[in-house]
Amino acid sequence: MSDQPLTVLSEEEGMFRDAVRSFAKEQIAPYAGEMDKAMKIRPEILDGCFELGLMGIEIPERFGGSDSTFFNSILAIEALAEADASVSVMVDVQNTLVINALLNWGNEAQQERYLTRLAKDWVGAYALSEPSSGSDAFALKTRAEDKGDHFVLNGTKLWITNGMEASVFVLMATVDPSLGYRGITSFLVEKDFEGFGIGAKEDKLGIRASSTTELILEDCIVPKENVLGEVGKGYKVAIETLNEGRIGIGAQMIGVAQGAFDHAMAYLRERKQFNTRLCDFQGVQFQFADLATQIEAARLLVYNAARLRQANRPFLKEAAMAKLFSSIMAERVTSQCVEFLGGVGYSKEFPVEKYYRDAKIGQIYEGTSNLQRLTIAKQLLKHYGD
């Protein structure tokens, strides 16, 4: 795995990244292909993520968390993706979506109950998408009816990452469809709540070990104290959380690209044709030089967005740019890495084809590439006074 410029990381951050990398290389990478085939993350790897504190990076120490930074969450997501994108996205959703939603919107009682468990042994999930709402994320049909001391939820959610493993879900529903986005409310729903069920598990192209499921709510009873934020303010919870999550997806894409590139470089240095190593052909050198430059450019975009968010400065445009560029870059880099390996690159004998499959999702989830372009364009027009 390649060195990265020390100028962008403090010594403490570098040590943290290297520790996660070592864990990923030793405990995750050897099982990545097996987990991809089985469509399931090994339980001992999940346990290891908890033991290392990777499932509660920003959770305060008083709740049992690592009491670290958003930037370190991004470093962890990147390092894990170098070994396996499925483990990376599990940690990503836990930290950048679920935990951040609780840190930013949860009251003291909610934080005490859920952050304590998320730091210790609970996996979290984020449930926004529905059969009729994809890019139009707020066209929700899941209904929440106020019954006095509780809400009753009915509806279906789709494409829920961590669905099989999660014990708690940050779930969006509307209290009144006629109010549009102003009716959307965020709820903390536990898997054991009456009326809550896990539906079908998706059989996907990539990130196959990461569970992606349907959620079914049939008269699901949710206590009133499990409203996250305020009734009717769920859209704000969703938007602000997803803006942070997009930086995490950018980090995941960097890790995927870097992992594929590292495997390809090892092959190019060993494989000979016409009595010459492949890496010594000038045409090949031009290609891998370009790929390394693209990876580094994406890394700096992601790190910049993460630094801005951590400093509580505006980061919306930068997060969208980071996700847009990183996801396009990852598909391009992994595709070229498959070509570097030729026939074996197209087979499952080498892991590069898996990185290629894993890369595609980056342009789809947590906001498609075109949605990122719209966000960037709107922010630019605002900057230029339109």
Query: How many CB atoms are closer than 10 A to CB 200?
Result: 11
Alpha-carbon distances, residue 34 vs 40, 109, 350 (angstroms):
9, 40, 13
Rounded to an integer, what distance in angstroms lies between the CA atom of residue 70 and that of residue 48? Answer: 20
347: Cβ contacts below 8 Å, ≥ 6 apart: 353
Phi-psi region of 219 (alpha: psi -120 to 50; beta: other; left: phi over 0): left
Contact 195/144 with Cβ under 8 angstroms? no
Distance CA 297, CA 193 (A): 45
Find the catalytic residue in 58, 244, 318, 366: 366
What values do phi and psi take at 281, rounded to 5?
-80, 130
User: What separation in angstroms does the CA of 7 have from each of 4, 10, 13, 47?
Assistant: 9, 8, 11, 33
Query: Does the annotation mark 366 as catalytic?
Result: yes
Mind telling me the catalytic residues? Answer: 366
